[in-house]
Every structure is written in C-alpha cells, then in structure tokens.
Amino acid sequence: MSNTTLKRAAIAVAILGVVGVGGAVAVKQNAAVAAASAPVAAVAQAPAAAPAPVAAPAIALPDFSVIVAHNGPAVVNINVTGSTKTSYDGDGPQGRNDPYADDPFYEFFRRFQGQQRGQQRQMPTHGLGSGFIVSSDGIILTNAHVVRDANEVVVKLTDRREFRAKVLGSDPQSDVAVLKIDAKNLPVVPLAKGNDLKVGEWVLAIGSPYGLDNTVTAGVVSAKGRSLPDGNVPFIQTDVAVNPGNSGGPLFNTRGEVVGINSQIYSQTGGYQGLSFAIPIDVANKIKNQIVATGKVVHAKLGVTVQEVNQGFADSFNLATPEGALVSNVERGGPADKAGLKAGDVIRSLNGQKIVSSVDLPSMVVLSAPGEKITLDVWRQGKPVQVTATLGNANDKVAAQSADPADQASAKLRLGLALRPLNPAERQEAGLANGLLIQDAGGAAANAGVQPGDVLLSVNGRPVNSIDQVREVVGKSSKSVALLIQRGDDKIFIPVRLG
C-alpha cells in the first residue's frame, strides 16, 4: 500500500471514529452485560459491527417562489431621462478637458480659492432604477437619487405597460421619493408593520439590476441600524446581491412584506461585493405620508453636534462603558439649548432607547417630528441628568454657541500645551468670546491630535477662561481628560491620556 493510500485510510478511520462516538458507548455497555452472563470464551468472538452514522438534521432553505409570484407584479422598472452640467468653456483647470470638473469637492475648493467658472452645457443623461407600487391608484416608492435631475420619468410594469410618472416629491436626506402614475386597480405590495426584523433573517430583493426587469436575489440581514457617511437613516445591512438598477426596489421578509427600500451598496468595483443597504420601510413610509399630504418633507432637529465616546472619553467623564453621544456643540437658541443641554454632556438614551454609538442619535431624531417632546438621559460631570426637549424644524437656521470672556496668562502645562488667552482681534476673527489659544502642542496632547492654532474651550466639560482653571481640572484627573477644541469652524472633543 502506498503512502498516499495509507494517509487516506487513516483519514477515513479517523472520520468513522468521530461519527461513531455515541455508538461506541452503547457497544461497551452491551459488551459488559454480555460478559456477565456468557462464558469467557465468548468474549474472543468477532467484534460487533459499528453502528451506522447518524445524519445531521437537514436545514430547510426558504422557498421564495410564492412571494415572487404574488408581489413581483407590483415591482416596477423606472427609466429616467434628465440633464446635467458637464462641460466648461476653455481648457486647463476649468476646461472641458479637466477630469475633475464635476467633482463636488473640486467645486468647493475652486470657490474657496476664488476661481471663476466658465459656462456649462446641459448634457442629456439616462438612468435606470426600480420601485414598487404601494397604492392601487398609482403611488410608487423609489429612491430620491434615482429621479434626481429628472426631466422625464417612465414607469414600466411587468405586463409591459408604460406610464409617464409625476415626481410628487423627493427627500435627499432620507433618499426617498414618491411617484404617481395615472392608472387604477394596480397590484400593491404589503408593508411590514413594526420593527421586528432580526439579524440573520432571510430577505429577498426584486428589482432591475442593469435593466434586467424583475430580477430576484436573496440573502440575510447582516446588521440593523447601520449608519453611513452623511446619512441619518438607520440602514438595514444585508448580503443580498444588489447592483446598479436595483436602487429603489423593495426588500421583502419571508412573509412577503416590504421591510426596506434597497438604496446603496459598498463597492470598490461598482458592482455587488456582499454589502448592500436598505432604508427601513417605517422611515420611508413616514416620508411618503408627508409628501402625499403636503408635497414636501419636514425633518426634526435637536440642534447639537455629537461625536463618539471612546475609552479615553469614558475615563475622562467617569463613564463605566464608552457608550453614548458626546455633545461637542450646541446651537444657540436651538431646541437643545432651550432644554439646557451643554457641550460635554453625554446623551445615553432617547425616550428610553439606549444610545450606544453617536450615530444612533440622529437616526432616532429623523424618525421623530418637529414639535415632538423627547426625554434624554444625560451624563453630566459624573452624574445622571434627565432633560426634556421639544424638537425643532431642521429648516430653521440658528447661530452657534460661544463661551465667556477670558483673562491673560501664559504657561506650560502637564498636558504639554503652551496656552495664552485670545487677544481682541483673534476673538473677533474666530467669533468667540473666550478661549485659550494653543501656541504649541507637545507630549500627550500632541499625540492625541491637538495642534498649534487650536482654541481650547473646555476641559472635561468645564469651560476654561484661564490657565489656572486648566491646571485645576487637569490636576483632579488621573487617567485622561477631554478637551473641547475649536479648529476653524468646527468644535471637536479630543481625549488626552495623562502620563
């Protein structure tokens, strides 16, 4: 027998040994009974045959055919014709040969540097997307980005009929749009009620990827309440295959109810890579109801800027765990300011719903309405505080909050910072009434990311108006401190571990 044959045989024996463990116990027990009642010579007889392996129970995979047959006719293909500004007069940095001419970041820096834009031409564009009918008289839900800049929207049904659609309204913040076609007795999809979708649950997508009508893909819910950059929606993350053209299509649960609108994918290639995101249907339905009733969408706002609570902040604020939303800025005159929220507060829950990450707060606020009263559980200077706030309208503009006057001094601190008060000209330029200018940063502060030119506003949530106040707060801290820094127009908290 060759070495290869020997190895294979050994593997086979080992596998049989594992499968038959449960049976081996029974064999030994039976042998012991036989030994007590039979002659000794009988023990030398041929061993009993090994028991047959027991097959593991089969896992039944879901059959989505009934859902597809029942709800597929209510899923539509959307064809959009629009126009966009793509061409510049001339060449060079602003010319039509510039590959970055349409990049929004390029445009921001162009304006910042005072450059003038040349003329642009309107170029026709064509786009494809998906949608689904939610009322028999022709109300359709889709994504706002599907119909952005649309001049004409054509909806195609599974029976090949086509209708020109009117965009009743769209909301870029939630990426939800509502269309209307002139038709009656249309098939509709049922919408899920409540939020009982579970991670690991099977889900199904129907849409038109790359224009391929009524394509069906399935997967599982990978996560819930996922936040994406520049988004306030608590997305449903799945591994359902979603590609360009699926946008706006429905995501179904195994009961055939729509639980979300497929909206985005994470991809380095432009195609599916296992990460797709859907807007929860309860969010989309609230947007739809506002658009149908008024033609516009009004979002609630609290009026705070928040950031993550990491371990350094938890140590600084005496928090047991690094959870919550750390308030770094409060808009003067806004709902949070009127309720008494302060920079340095850590919001732990909203209406009893726990806030684990800072992204949870805007996701909760977006589900509320302007004028709604909310209760916030806050951690302030080492103690729990409850705050009641009345949410405002996100369209209202208010000024940012500033602090109190400062005195003059200069010193080198345990933090590794060289500080001095702002002079009148600096205070006016920065729009601040107080603050200590960071002239030099070294040691622990520099390692944490503090930079010369930053303005120190508070330490561990306590506003500082002098070097002595900074010394006092730092002297009482053992592990780390949280510095509220103004950098340009932004206010940020930076945790600094002390030596």
Catalytic site includes residue 135:
no
Q: Does 434 or 334 have the greater pLDDT score?
A: 334
pLDDT of residue 271: 73
CB 8 within 8 A of CB 33: no
455-459 and 480-487 as β-strands: parallel, antiparallel, unpaired? antiparallel
pLDDT of residue 195: 77
**Of the listed 130, 170, 247, 328, which one is catalytic?**
247
pLDDT of residue 66: 95
Is 246 within any annotated ligand binding site?
yes
**Of the listed 145, 267, 282, 477, which one is catalytic?**
145
The alpha helices in 196-275, defined as continuous H runs, are none
Catalytic site includes residue 466:
no
60-92 residue pLDDT tens: 788 999 999 999 999 999 999 987 655 444 444
> Are domains 300-393 and 411-497 of this chain identical in fold?
yes
pLDDT of residue 440: 77
Domain range summary for the chain, segments of one domain joined by +: 65-297, 300-393, 411-497
pLDDT of residue 121: 58
pLDDT of residue 84: 64
**Of the listed 171, 175, 315, 345, which one is catalytic?**
175
* Alpha-carbon torsion angle 316, 320, 325, 331, nearest 10: -50
Burial label, 46 (beta-carbon count in 10 A; 0-12, 13-18, 19+)? exposed
Q: Does 54 or 450 have the greater pLDDT score?
A: 450
Q: Does 448 or 475 have the greater pLDDT score?
A: 448
223-256 residue pLDDT tens: 998 877 666 788 999 999 999 999 999 999 999 9
Is 126 within any annotated ligand binding site?
no
Q: What is the enclosing helix (H) or strand (E) of 353?
A: strand 353-354
Residue 376, φ and ψ in degrees, nearest 5 = -115, 130
| DSSP string for 112-174 | HTTPPP--EEEEEEEEEEEEEEEETTTEEEE-GGGSTTEEEEEEE-TTS-EEEEEEEEEETTT
- Of residues 240, 257, 101, the one with CA closest to residue 189: 257
CATH number among 3.90.1150.10, 3.40.1190.20, 2.30.30.170, 2.30.42.10, domain 411-497 = 2.30.42.10
Catalytic site includes residue 175:
yes
Of all residues in the chain, what percent carry a pLDDT higher than 90? 40
Distance CA 300, CA 392 (A): 6
Residue 371: pLDDT band with limits 50, 70, 90: very high
pLDDT of residue 107: 45
Is 402 within any annotated ligand binding site?
no
| Phi-psi region at 371: left, alpha or beta (left = phi > 0; alpha = psi -120 to 50) | left
The lowest-confidence range among 130-139, 260-269, 354-363, 435-444 is 435-444
259-282 residue pLDDT tens: 999 998 887 777 778 899 999 999
Is 145 within any annotated ligand binding site?
yes
Give the pLDDT mean for 148-176.
93
- Of residues 407, 427, 422, 416, the one with CA closest to residue 468: 407
Distance CA 302, CA 304 (A): 6
pLDDT of residue 425: 64
The lowest-confidence range among 206-210, 270-274, 295-299, 479-483 is 270-274
The class (CATH top level) of 65-297 is mainly beta
Average pLDDT, the chain: 78
CATH number among 2.30.42.10, 3.30.930.10, 1.10.10.10, 3.10.20.30, domain 300-393 = 2.30.42.10
